[in-house]
Amino acid sequence: MSLTSEDADPSEQRAVARGAAAGSVPNRVTFDRYELNRILNLYGRMVADGEWRDYSIDFLKERAVFSVFRRSSEVPLYRIEKDPRLARKQGMYSVISATGLILRRGHELERVLLVIDRKLAVV
């Protein structure tokens, strides 16, 4: 017994169509669990200090961007970017200020985030 297209289960046809559509989606650069955990820990501390209030995450084809805002209606104070194309050159992580100035770039996220993760020293 052979099944024609009229005899096939409609849910199977939708599943095949979803699989074909999912294969056409281009790969996106994302933050892995460790990177996102480190960034959100920093974000939580800065929110507790009252310096930051909002954030956004963009997963683009060539890079992933975590933007930090003082108010959601403004431009981001900082952008933390991951660009794998620069992994063997200057480092894939960078912190960019609101003016577009690259504050720090490197191969390790911990060291790059130190530029905005200043600890206050008691003198």
| DSSP E strands, 20-87 | 54-59, 64-69, 78-82
pLDDT tens across 4-58, in order? 555 555 555 555 555 555 554 458 888 889 999 999 999 998 888 888 888 899 8
Indicate the pTM of the whole model: 0.71
pLDDT tens across 65-93, in order? 999 998 767 788 899 999 888 888 888 89
Share of the chain residues as helix, strand and coil, in percent rounded to the nearest 5:
30, 20, 45
Structure tokens at 69: 């805002």
**pLDDT band for position 122 (50/70/90)?**
low
